[in-house]
A and B are shown apart, each in its own frame.
Chain A
Amino acid sequence: MLTYTLRRILGMIPTLLVISAVCFAVIKLQPGSFTDQYLEDPRFTRETAAAISRQLGLDQPALVQYGRWLWGVVTRLDFGYSFLQNRPVVSVIGDLLGWTVFLSLITLLFSWLVAVPLGLYTAFNRHGWPASIANFLGYVGLAIPDFLAALLLVALVLQLGGTNVGGLFSPAYIDAPWSWAKVADLLGHLWIPVLALGLEGVAGLMRQMRASTLDVLTQDYIRTARAKGLPQHRVIWRHAVRNAINPLISLAGLSLPSLISGTIIVSIVLSLPTIGPLLYDSLLNKDQYTALTLLMLSAFLLLVGNLLADLALAWADPRVRYA
């Protein structure tokens, strides 16, 4: 197990290297450069713009810029400098990363708490109208893009006369120290992004849970359990659900990075303090090291998510472990 994990982690390194090179190439291929904005500004002369360009290292060939960035990352975990904010990228990302992961985990928790019971219910009561409604809602959840869901929720709240939309806190609490009132305020804001982000996950997980439960219910060991006279709840919880939930465990790890991707666009709509708006701004303004670091970060989270999914599955399913 340990050697397997280590091998997987070491295997990430070449992949991340290739990804960083491709991402840097993509960023560098963007037409124009960061200092172009100064050329249009009458307060800056051509010489000043060139000086800024030299200071930021933008006059070097792209390969040298990439090499320096990579060297900084490998030797001192220095992810470069944010041109837009005039401080190191690491300090820019710091807080935002925390909120991003927090929001994604909360959404993951929410979608599991809703989807697993719903999936089980629809698997055991296949023909009733509540199951049909749940199945239809599953389709609906898959068909509404997350940003549209966010807009709809916001529109709904606004039409009902509410004002508590956008951001994670009301203005009064943004810089306030943590207190119960602040937590309550956070919860009052949190439900819109969680619902908007979780909708797709709930729909997907519910369908998966339903399908895998139906698969398990036709297995011989379920018949055996029934035949030896176990009570229904024991058959369901100890025999069916434990096995049916395995595919979902690997899905959970896989959905974490896509959730983080999802927060990007929802955060832009709802102006949440996550890495989404930062990535958007840095890409548009050619703040190359911030954009590169954020792209790498999301690729890294994707790989970690995959690894966690495999490890969690091995932990939950002995057949995987001993194979």
Chain B
Amino acid sequence: MTALPAPTSTPSPWALAWRRYRKSRLGVIGGWLLILLYASALLAPFLAPYSITAQHEGLSYQPPQRLHIVHEGQVRTPFVYGFKQERDPVTFARKNVEDRETPIPVQLLVRGEPYRFLGVPTTLHLFGVPEGAYFFPLGTDQLGRDLLSRTLVGGQVSLTVGVIGVLISFTIGILLGGVSGYFGGWVDNLIQRVVEVLLSFPRLPILLALSTLIPARWPSTWVYLGIVAVLALIGWAGLARVVRGQVLAARGLEYVTAAQAIGARDLRVILRHITPNLSSFLVVTATLALPGYILGESALSFLGLGIKEPMTSWGLLLKDAQNFQTLRLYPWLLIPGLFIFLAVLAFNFFGDALRDAADTQSR
């Protein structure tokens, strides 16, 4: 038997897809935005000037402080103005006003509150101001906690809920969808009925109902896992249905028959032979499913049924802005919403570009 001539310079399908992805401007922007967001979540305690539970007395609802470089007509290194306590001449209410006299320099790599980074205890923060002064780039909340720190650390929750949730629901969906499509018969019938019922549940109402199952006295890490589980439980059904269709189509193909002929067990055929052939489809579906999880978590936390204090997430931070009076007086509490927006936008950009890159048929 003569060997086939080796295709020397033909790029692999992945390389071709990568090339097509690179051409999509929005997709590349989305990709970089995602890297940036996840990096900021990973480095959150280092980037954050304060700890998320540190309450600064007398400094509740401070508006975001601007970074200045010009003081009395002179350019200097970046600085902020401190606060000075004054009484309102009419109402005599105490309030903090900007003290234009004393500029406070903002320093890089300062020692601050201790935290653990990947298990290593450290006190190094990216930036900060000298002891006694404060710098709140995004302002503070009702308890005088720094909103920037809380937003950065909240990102750890909001951004990982989606990834873990998708991993869980994809494991269930691929396994059940694969088994359903591969075996057919009564197994297929049973699984498809379950999927149908799950898909007939209205999503948000059943999410609300399920999240009330999480007991109030659970520690917040458990609650986090509970929320992920609830989201994944609802999410797998649609995927199982699509995977079933794909497996059903692949079942008759020669490579599957070949694998069966050499005695591969059924589960092995599904997971090692059929699933890899669906990999590009699965990656794209996962990317496009992720925003749903981020939005779901934020909606639940916003309603007070999701993540609990002392943990924080973007949805939970927005909960503080629910009251119209608060919203009118302290509009900066909406800033965490910008992060939800950016994360979902980035995933959609990235996912759409991946889909176009993986789709070879339409060309």
Contact = CB atoms under 8 A, between A and B. Distances in A.
Interface in B333-363: 334, 337, 340-342, 344-345, 348-349
A26 B234 CA distance: 13
Interface residues of A, number: 47
B203 interface: yes
B32 interface: no
Interface in B291-335: 291, 295, 298-299, 302-303, 318, 321-322, 324, 327-328, 331, 334
Main secondary structure on B side of the interface with A:
helix
A264 B340 contact: no
A183 interface: no
Nearest to B342: A143
Interface stretch (B62-70, B94-102, B208-216, B252-260): B208-216
A267 B232 CA distance: 26
A124 to B, nearest CB: 20
Interface string A286-304: 0000010011001101110
A269 B209 contact: no
B206 interface: yes
Contacts, number: 120
A299 B202 CA distance: 5
Nearest to B341: A143
Given A151-B321, A158-B328, A265 B303 contact: yes
Contact of B344 (A18, A142, A280, A301): A142
A145 B340 contact: yes
Contacts of B348: 139, 142-143
A283 B212 contact: yes
A257 B201 CA distance: 10
A107 B102 CA distance: 53
Contacts of A106: none
A294 to B, nearest CB: 7
A247 to B, nearest CB: 17
A264 B204 contact: yes
Given A143-B291, A145-B298, A155-B334, A19 B203 contact: no
A303 B328 CA distance: 40
A140 B213 CA distance: 33
Nearest to B208: A283
Contact of A295 (B206, B299, B318, B331): B206
A303 B291 contact: no
B345 A262 contact: no
A143 B298 CA distance: 12
Nearest to A158: B328
Given A23-B209, A258-B203, A145 B349 contact: no
A120 to B, nearest CB: 21
Contacts of A283: 208-209, 212
Given A140-B345, A143-B341, A145-B298, A301 B328 contact: no
A155 B328 contact: yes
A22 interface: yes
Interface stretch (A27-35, A38-46, A54-62, A225-233): A27-35
Contacts of A169: none
B9 interface: no
B208 A303 contact: no
A264 B349 CA distance: 28
B208 A159 contact: no
Interface string A108-143: 000000000000000000000000000000011011
Interface of A: 15, 18-19, 22-23, 26-27, 29-31, 139-140, 142-145, 147-148, 151-152, 154-155, 158-159, 165-166, 257-258, 260-262, 264-265, 268-269, 279-280, 283-284, 291, 294-295, 298-299, 301-303
6 contacts: A26-B210, A143-B340, A145-B295, A151-B321, A151-B337, A295-B209
The 6 closest A-B pairs by CB, nearest first: A298-B202, A143-B344, A261-B204, A143-B345, A158-B328, A148-B337
